[in-house]
Amino acid sequence: MLPLFPLNTVLFPGCVLDLQIFEARYLDMISRCMRQGTGFGVVCILEGEEVGEAANQFSLVGCEAVIQDWQQRSNGLLGIRVAGQRRFRVSRAEVQSDQLTLADVEWLGEAADRPLTAEHADLAALLEALAEHPLVAELGMGGAAASQHALANQLAYLLPFGPEEKLQLLVQADPAARLEQIQHLVEGLQGDGG
């Protein structure tokens, strides 16, 4: 069973997330993952809070997170950096007595990756521009994307789309279709701000 970490974010494969861990259930989970060399699942909270009781409702599609680095922060909390790996769908979940949620998951397949084409030039330029943002640079993300999957995942993760929109993008296995959805969403953002 995969331990789940419900958060107010949607993680995508190939993307980086920094977390501060302070709750006992998650400290235990991270310790187990590090000992066993396994990951945990990040799922988006639909109803409930990140802290305290287990989230009432979370998305049934998520992304496996693998710990890349950790450090004790100056505030005494454990800081970890994770990288998104495989997408999954939750088939069954149960909350343990310590409020940690464990789930049976089905790993989702990916469509074949393809190189970027001329039609992706604007989105590729957008990702390169995002690399200039200090928070994105700190994560080591943004810049030139090597493929449609990389471009789609990073833009879906970094751009300020709502949770529902991000989840729709996470469910989409085909990178070309995901990039098309992102293009429409970006045009919508430009319309809102213009």
CATH 2.30.130.40 fits 2-107, yes or no: yes
- Specify the pLDDT at position 54: 61
Query: How many residues in the chain?
Result: 194
Query: Which residues of the chain are under the pLDDT cut of 50?
Result: 194
Residue 161, CB half-sphere, CA atoms under 13 Å: how many? 25
Whether the CB-CB separation of 85 and 107 falls below 8 Å is answered with no
> Are 2-107 and 118-193 equal in CATH topology?
no
The tens digit of pLDDT for each residue in 96-110 reads 999 899 999 999 998
CATH 1.20.58 fits 118-193, yes or no: yes
- Specify the pLDDT at position 48: 66
- Specify the pLDDT at position 191: 72
The DSSP 8-state label assigned to residue 41 in this structure reads E
Identify the helix (H) or strand (E) that includes residue 116: none
CA-atom Rg of the chain in angstroms = 17
Is 50 strand, coil or helix?
Answer: coil
Q: Using CA atoms, how far apart are residues 170 and 90, in angstroms rounded to an integer?
A: 14
Task: Kindly list the domain boundaries of the chain, sorted by start residue.
Answer: 2-107, 118-193
- Specify the pLDDT at position 188: 86
Whether the CB-CB separation of 152 and 175 falls below 8 Å is answered with yes
